[in-house]
Structure 1
Amino acid sequence: MNSQSNDLLDQPHPSADHLDLLEAEALFILREVTAECRHPVMLYSGGKDSAVLLHLAYKAFHPERIGLALLHIDTGHNYDEVIAYRDRMAERYDCQLHVRNVEDSIRKGSVRLRHPLESRNSHQSVTLMEAIAEFGFDACLGGARRDEEKARAKERIVSVRDEFGQWEPKNQRPELWSLYNTRVAPGNHVRVFPISNWTELDVWQYIQREDIELPELYFSHLRDIVRRGDILVPVTHLTPANQGETVETISCRFRTVGDISCTAPVASTAITVADIIAETTQCLLTERGATRLDDRASDGAMEQRKKEGYF
């Protein structure tokens, strides 16, 4: 085949839009990793990115069953609606669901909290590594995206972790011409991010196009909050109002859903995916930068957690 023919093969189909191209890339990564790795698993939290990734896995392997089990590291501080959604989707897509609990790590002493109401979000890394060792997973596929946070922007699509689950951003394999290196040394594993090149807007547009179900927390609802600076902190048993704070009931939604103790909503009246897309086009902050209290704790907090084994 001559060079002109090769150039033509590299061109996208004229009728393909950007979502088609992103989808095609993600399907290729899912199939490639599943074929090359001995025991891959999908990290599944029940959030919107997890929902998109699970739907992509369904399309990647249809009409066969999804060739991946699901793994959720449950902090014990998740919203009930998200846990119910997680279980419902695992059943709908006919996936084996493994759940491992930070509470179990606390009981056996591998996780130690400074106080009972401390956020357990960063401690998930310990429980995740225990689950990887228990099942012998050599690849963990997750829904992280580069636009979420600057540390995640440094991550390769296939990212090697050592035997302690640690990540070194200065020592990553190159990924030229979409060649993903899934070979790992004994005891190591890879984290794989098939939607790494997507943006928050891409995710919502894809959810609209594919009609993907989500937890109701992502849509506008009434919730009690207190204002702490520019953050709306939900009033819950884990995040009670401090003395002197004024509790308000406002219309809000979550842009990202994680631990109750570290995830804040945003004021919103968006009740449909189309409404959320319209809001997203006007946002100046990433969803994590705007709503994740743990990412605001200190500059470089996410990168340090990732180096220690975080998702």
Structure 2
Amino acid sequence: MKATSAVALSHLDSLESEAVHIFREVAGEFERPVILFSGGKDSIVMLRLALKAFAPAAVPFTLLHVDTGHNFPEVLEYRDRTVAEHGLRLHIASVQDYIDRGVLRERPDGVRNPLQTLPLTEKIQAERFDAVFGGGRRDEEKARAKERVFSLRDEFSAWDPRRQRPELWQLYNGRHAPGEHVRVFPLSNWTELDVWQYIEREGIELPQIYFAHKREVFARDGMWLTAGDWGGPRVVELTETRLVRYRTVGDMSCTGAVDSDAATVGAVIDEIAASRLTERGATRADDKVSEAAMEDRKREGYF
């Protein structure tokens, strides 16, 4: 009998296969999974992987976005257009609603990213989601680097390192008590460069904010922030028009732009390959509050 030769998967094919396996595993183990979808590049890639995992059938999950009220309009437009295009259902947890009801208070610096935890955790409880897909990657930040693919959370959505399970040979344990849920990270082993190379290979459309464009910005804490009614710029902060792009997208009040002339996916890939700073380390003010900022938010139930 003639022996058949094994076909080696490419690096991107291996990552895609792992993520598809994770989506299918969750579909088989859980009753009410949901995908966190903001219109940012990682959640866009995550949705593409989910579509592939179940094609030609529909994605058997709903979507969830925690809207701070300070999101970039370009990203929200992309979010809504994508949801409509694929006939998906989107849940929105609004930080502004909590502020209006007096449950949360506006921070003096105008940053709302730290206020997302309560709307997120209460939405999970109200909708009884038992698995929540997130786009976190281990290369982004040290609190994410030690995270499991299946991250068990208690009835308050809190993370306890002592309760996390080993994940040998891609075997994932989704068992949880009533009221608990599992955060699932299909892109855990991806890097920023992997994400962009996959976007290029798949021809995935992104919000134009990820590519070089002229924008009115001002300098604060070593970053170029977008001017807006969220609390910036202050009187002493002068705005200027610069050619910039965004490596990561979150709240306008804490997500900085980088000087860049990278107007295509290929140019962005070249730029990232030469960079020595992670995307969050370079452009996310909410991660710079303290050495343990993301770790604290993870324990509280956000990440």
For the aligned pair, the TM-score class normalised by the smaller chain equals: over 0.9
Listed as ranges, the matches of 1:5-154 within 5 Å are: 13-14=7-8, 16-115=9-108, 118-154=110-146
Distance 2:244 2:122 in 1: 36
* CA distance in 1 between partners of 2:281 and 2:6 (Å): 33
**Is 1:110–1:126's contact at 8 Å kept on the other side of the alignment?**
no
Amino acid at match of 2:14: L
* Count of aligned pairs: 300
- Cα gap change, 1:109/1:240 in structure 2, threshold over 3 Å: closer, same or farther? closer
| Structure 2 residue 130 is the aligned partner of structure 1 residue 163 | no
Once the two structures are TM-superposed, the CA of residue 133 in structure 1 deviates from its matched residue by 1.4
Is 2:229 the partner of 1:228? Answer: no
TM-aligned CA deviation for residue 239 of structure 1: 4.2
| Structure 2 CA distance for partners of 1:298 and 1:284, relative to 1, 3 Å | same
Q: Distance in 2 between matches of 1:257 and 1:17?
A: 29
Q: Would the alpha carbon gap of residues 248 and 107 (structure 1) be closer, same or farther in structure 2, given more than 3 Å must change? A: closer
Q: Identity of counterpart residues, as a percentage?
A: 54
Question: Displaced runs of 4+ in structure 1, greater than 4 A?
Answer: none
For the Cα contact (< 8 Å) 2:95–2:115, is it kept in 1?
yes
The whole-number CA distance in structure 2 between the counterparts of 1:54 and 1:47 is 11
The one-letter code sitting in structure 1 at the alignment partner of 2:34 is V
* Aligned 8 A contact 2:232 2:253 in 1: no
* Residues 1:242 and 2:241 are matched in the alignment: no
Aligned-partner SS, 1:233: strand
Answer yes or no: is the 8 Å Cα contact 1:58–1:93 preserved in 2. Answer: no
Distance (Å, rounded) in 1 between the aligned partners of 2:123 and 2:223: 34
In 2, distance between residues paired with 1:288 and 1:189? 26
1:183 match: 175
Please state whether the residue corresponding to 1:191 is helix, strand or coil. strand
SS in 2 for 1:123: helix
> Is it true that 1:279 corresponds to 2:275 in the alignment?
no
- Aligned equivalents of 2:17, 2:111: Cα separation in 1: 37
- Deviation of residue 104 (structure 1)? 1.7
**What SS does the aligned partner of 1:261 have?**
coil
Query: Which amino acid in the other structure matches residue 43 of structure 1?
Result: L
Which stretch of structure 1 is more off in the superposition, 233-242 or 145-154? 233-242
Deviation of 1:118 after TM superposition, in Å, equals: 2.4
Superposed CA offset, 1:160-203 (max 9, x none): 00111111234311111111111111110000000110000000
Secondary structure, counterpart of 1:303 in structure 2: helix
Per-residue Cα deviation, 1:109-167 (whole angstroms, up to 9, x for no partner):
4323344x621111111001111111110000011101011000011000000111111
Q: Secondary structure at the match of 1:100?
A: strand
d(CA) in 1 for partners of 2:38 and 2:181? 20
TM-superposed deviation, 1:229: 5.0
CA distance in 2, matches of 1:131, 1:241: 32
CA distance in 1, matches of 2:172, 2:99: 36
**SS in structure 2 opposite 1:65?**
coil
2:178 is paired with a residue whose SS is coil
Q: Deviations over 1:241-278 (max 9, x none)?
A: 23333322110000000001110000000100000000
What residue number does 1:5 align with?
Answer: none
Give the alignment partner of residue 262 of structure 1, picking from 246, 251, 254.
254
Structure 2: gaps spanning 5 or more residues = none
Partner amino acid, structure 1, of 2:219: R
Report SS of the residue matched to 1:34: helix
For the residue of structure 1 that corresponds to 2:242, the secondary structure is: strand
Q: Which amino acid aligns with 1:21?
A: S
What RMSD over aligned residues (CA atoms) do the two structures have, in Å?
1.6
Q: The residue matched to 2:161 in structure 1 has which SS?
A: coil
